[in-house]
Structure 1
Amino acid sequence: MYLVISKKGQKMNKEELHQMLHPMKLIGLGGNQALNEKIANILHIPLLETAVHHFSDGEIAVNIGETVRGCDVFVIQSIQDPVNENFMELEIVCDALHRASAHRINCVVPYLAYSRSDTKTRSREPITAKLVANLLQLTGIDRLITLDLHAEQIQGFYNIPVDHLHAMPLLAHYYLDNGIASVDEDDVVIVSPDHSGTKLARSFGSFFNAPIAIVDQRGARYDDSVHDMIGDVKGKKCIIVDDLIDTGTRIASSTNSVLAAGATKVYVAASHALLSHDAISVLNKLPIEQIVVTDTIKHEKYPDRLVRVSVDQLLARGIDYVYNDRSIHQIFDEQNRIK
């Protein structure tokens, strides 16, 4: 560690010098203000006063209340419903920061919308996840910090560093801490709602030394019908694992399928709770013991038996590590120690 002498004759290490030359600033936008405030409180850094005004025709105007010249700025915005409005807020603020001579612009996006559109499956279809990456980079951002992307390969759409944090260990820890499942039990099965989620189910199952099963759903659409199961769930406690819950139909289909195959109890773990359309009504009708999600997305109302696990500490640590040039891999190592 190099030492330098300040004007007051005090010795400073490299980290302290960086903090003096490029102080950290936080901006929290309207996607999930509750989570923004939690992160700011953990970091002991107040959110910058940022005025975001929406005109009657839908246009957005932004004004940042204090100077950010030479600062390392972290903009926190969950791109949730209304998706396009929240995305444009992020874009416009990043452009304002670029024009205000911020040293580095870091986007912290707990939920990155359009991640499901990561590949072209039919003729004349867009790859919207790539378009979003292009648009974000056009504003001159330096880094993206996000959480549980729908597909990890989306990181390759960016020509800037992407720190892809994982919330699934937090959800697994919840089940372990509350005695719902443990590494000693042999009656727990982790269920993927389709074939594409097998990798996620296998990773989640490693925290419990549990086998996995797959709902053999085929085709692009989900419904409430019962599907075949790959794997044995008879007499077992099942935890259905997915990266997000949107309308609830995939969870409903999976729940009906595992119960028809003889499962005794059904739990759900998902990173992002979009809860679109009548998802709350759909989930409330299901014989699910508990649904465990994160707080990446804020709603006014939630389904019964739903528990939200906060990702505030995880994101705050990610911000702190990036700002102080520490390896994010340390976070992954610590998460893996609970296995």
Structure 2
Amino acid sequence: MNRLESAIPLLLQQLKTFPQQDLVIVFPDDGATKRFKDMFSVYSFVTCAKVRNGDHCNVVVKDGDPNGKHVVIVDDLVQTGGTLIECAKACLGKGATKVSGFVTHAVFPKNSWSKFAHSSNPSVKFETFWITDSIPHSRDIAKNEPFKLLSLSALIADRLLGYDLVPSV
């Protein structure tokens, strides 16, 4: 039997440190909404979408309301980060007060993570960008603000050994 396992419990542990009413979970597209929405049942959520206008593509808020909220954009992986940045801009344009992000797999080829680094003066400032150690270079990326590394080791041990090292949320 195949099972989809996720690193979302690691993020949920982090989100417990924020007032729930101040947060909204944002999915950058319908695919992320379908994959992850049920894991965030206690939070409001927003779905963004790419809208084509001729040769130009814009990311817009499709469903939900980020106004007055700290938005946390959730996806399974990031490459260049363009969609996440455009999703953040769309939410800020609709009144979001802060932006954070979470991805399980921080691929970031050719140092594309640097567009999120506070020292690079990004066009959108992410408060926190949680990544996991699923990719070896994640440890180096996490040495830079706003990145925070979450280890998969306890989740993997839970699944392999049947332990309860990651508290349920």
Task: Answer with 238-247 or 293-302: which moved more.
Answer: 293-302
Q: Does residue 13 of structure 2 align to residue 173 of structure 1?
A: yes
Q: How many residues align?
A: 158
Q: Does residue 84 of structure 2 align to residue 251 of structure 1?
A: yes
Match of 2:146 among 284, 287, 305: 305
User: For the residues of structure 2 that align with 1:335 and 1:313, how far apart are their CA atoms?
Assistant: 6
SS in 2 for 1:216: strand
Match of 1:194 among 29, 36, 39: 29
How much identity, in percent, do the aligned residues show?
27
* 1:281 corresponds to: 114
The answer to whether the 8 A contact 1:252-1:282 is kept is no
The answer to whether the 8 A contact 2:48-2:59 is kept is no
Q: Summarize deviations over 1:141-168 as a string: whole Å, max 9, x none.
A: xxxxxxxxxxxxxxxxxxxx54542211
Q: CA deviation at 1:201?
A: 4.1
* 2:131 corresponds to: 293
Residue type matched to 1:241 in 2?
V
Cα distance 1:228–1:312, how it changes in 2: closer, same or farther (>3 A)? closer
Q: Does residue 109 of structure 2 align to residue 269 of structure 1?
A: no
Residue type matched to 1:227 in 2?
V
Residue type matched to 1:196 in 2?
G
Q: CA deviation at 1:230?
A: 1.9
Cα distance 1:201–1:281, how it changes in 2: closer, same or farther (>3 A)? same
Q: TM-score scaled by structure 1?
A: 0.42
The answer to whether the 8 A contact 2:29-2:47 is kept is yes
Q: Summarize deviations over 1:103-140 as a string: whole Å, max 9, x none.
A: xxxxxxxxxxxxxxxxxxxxxxxxxxxxxxxxxxxxxx
User: For the residues of structure 1 that align with 2:97 and 2:57, how far apart are their CA atoms?
Assistant: 19
* 1:230 corresponds to: 63
Higher RCO, 1 vs 2 (CA within 8 Å, ≥6 residues apart): 2
Q: Which has the larger radius of gyration?
A: 1
The answer to whether the 8 A contact 1:171-1:293 is kept is no
Runs of 4+, deviation exceeding 4 Å: 223-226
The answer to whether the 8 A contact 1:229-1:261 is kept is no
Q: CA deviation at 1:195?
A: 1.4
Residue type matched to 1:169 in 2?
P
Q: CA deviation at 1:305?
A: 1.0
The answer to whether the 8 A contact 2:116-2:146 is kept is no
Residue type matched to 2:156 in 1?
L
* 1:317 corresponds to: 158
Q: TM-score scaled by structure 2?
A: 0.80
Q: Which structure shows the bigger proportion of residues in strand conformation? A: 2
Cα distance 1:319–1:276, how it changes in 2: closer, same or farther (>3 A)? same
Q: Summarize deviations over 1:231-280 as a string: whole Å, max 9, x none.
A: 11111111101011111111111111111111001111111111113422
The answer to whether the 8 A contact 2:51-2:59 is kept is no
The answer to whether the 8 A contact 1:201-1:212 is kept is no
User: For the residues of structure 2 that align with 1:173 and 1:203, how far apart are their CA atoms?
Assistant: 16
Cα distance 1:282–1:192, how it changes in 2: closer, same or farther (>3 A)? same
User: For the residues of structure 2 that align with 1:270 and 1:241, how far apart are their CA atoms?
Assistant: 6
User: For the residues of structure 2 that align with 1:317 and 1:190, how far apart are their CA atoms?
Assistant: 25
Cα distance 1:225–1:187, how it changes in 2: closer, same or farther (>3 A)? same
Q: What are the within-5 Å matches in structure 2 for residues 20-35 of structure 1?
A: none
Cα distance 1:201–1:166, how it changes in 2: closer, same or farther (>3 A)? closer
Q: What are the within-5 Å matches in structure 2 for residues 1-339 of structure 1?
A: 161-176=1-16, 179=17, 181-182=18-19, 185-206=20-41, 209-218=42-51, 225-284=58-117, 285=122, 286-299=124-137, 301-302=140-141, 303-321=144-162, 337-338=168-169
